[in-house]
Amino acid sequence: MTHMAADESSTAAHGEMQTHSNSGRLFVMEAGNEGKKPESRTDTVLEKFAPAAKLVLYAVPYYGIAVLFYVTLETKPCESSHALHVHEAAGGSPSTCLEPWTAIDALYYTTVSMSTVGYGDISASDNLSRTFTAVWILVGIVFVVVQTAIVVDGLFEWLGRAQRKLMSMLTSERFEEAEEEAEERAANAAVAQLGMSAFRSRLNEAIFYVSALWTDVLLFLVLQLLVGLVILYTEPHFGVGDTVWYCFITATTVGFGDINVTTQVGRLLATVHILFSVIWFAALISHVRRLSQRRERRRLYAQMLSRRLDHALIKKMDRDGRGVDAAEFVVGSLIALGAEVGGEPLNWSLVGPMLTQFHQFDVDGDGRLTSHDLSQLAAMHLKLATAPRYRDVLVDAAAAQGRPWDAHVGKRYVVRGRVER
């Protein structure tokens, strides 16, 4: 990065502005802001694991408070042989035996409630516990469930990148190549000899969804298989059919409660299984929706590139009545494709400030941002700082070009250009 300044000594004296240029791209910094340093490998690793770390930061106190509350206040029918033996030795009957919840019971109940599965095998026994549970469900959904969904979504993105990298290694294609293009070529080649356009379209769509979802679905099924095997081992009353049914009603949040885990190991496993299965299943549904939207955007993009120019199209895109320039054509096409800026549909009211900013930086008015514009901006700022009357010279020069300029905002000099469209 090359440091550009009109007067290095003046810059050091005033400390007002630093200017940098990289491949003709321009940005201006105030004193004290040294720009963003290149990310190190450590920063990259920390950024990747930040969502998981945030999940731990939320989950530990969330579950810790819940465990402390339920273990202290809640009881359940005796499940341990030791509690039953002590109760019977005191002359009580098994039906009246109660024991405190264990920490695993509290973890299990908190997760079942927060995930909305709601088996009903253990529940709050009084109004105080019910009030706490109601509040804690909402807290868990806002913090733990949402953050877990972010972690799972990040895992989906990582799986997608790993899948594309693996396919590029197997097919000797570039990793940067979009998977859509590879899928389209594969589908076209597979059915080219058939000459069936309808079949080709359906096959392309099937390949698109299968290639994008197979790793996510496979891992989801592997998770259910591993959990099912452990449940079969730890829960004597479970059969194979019971296990499949239990995993299904858990992942879909139905939670009939007709069959439940009863051992401490089973409940500890269910705590993890419920949280990730429910969110994974919901994320799969959301992923399918995003894929459908992406495929529709691809269709519109291909349709737009194959369209013919006509008078109606020119009239629609022409903003100033002087014909369609490159910016109007590109922005108009993006608007037709449904492009968004900050979550809002792209429109010309959002494009206007961007064009204004461009004219702010384009000091020489040649329609391009270069290091020369950068040098001139730095020189203007220094002269304004040392000789405020120099503003009049800038205003006169701007007026001669038909682009009125204004003064500064804070310590940063801003050149405001008038945008016609």
Q: What CATH number does residue 84 fall under?
A: 1.10.287
Whether the model pTM is above 0.75: no
125: pLDDT strictly greater than 80: yes
Q: Are residues 71 and 149 in the same domain?
A: yes
**Region 361-381: what's the mean pLDDT?**
80
**Region 17-28: what's the mean pLDDT?**
41
Q: What is the pLDDT of residue 400?
A: 58
Q: What is the pLDDT of residue 301?
A: 78
Q: What is the pLDDT of residue 239?
A: 93
Q: Are residues 240 and 369 in the same domain?
A: no
Q: Which structural domain range is residue 334 located in?
A: 311-346
How far apart are the C-alpha atoms of 254 and 249, rounded to whole Å? 5
Residue 301 included in any domain:
no
Mean pLDDT across the chain: 76
Between residues 401 and 345, the one the model is more confident about: 345
Top-confidence range, 14-18, 62-66, 163-167: 62-66
Q: What is the pLDDT of residue 384?
A: 60
Q: Are residues 32 and 49 in the same domain?
A: no
What is the number of domains present in the chain? Answer: 3
Q: What is the pLDDT of residue 103?
A: 96
Q: Are residues 67 and 213 in the same domain?
A: yes
The residue among 374, 371, 354, 359 whose CA lies nearest residue 417 is: 359
220-246 pLDDT, tens per residue? 999 999 999 999 999 999 999 999 999
Q: What is the pLDDT of residue 268?
A: 94
358: pLDDT strictly greater than 60: yes
Q: Among residues of the chain, what percentage have pLDDT more than 70?
A: 71
Band of the pLDDT at 417, cuts 50, 70, 90? very low
Residue 418 included in any domain:
no
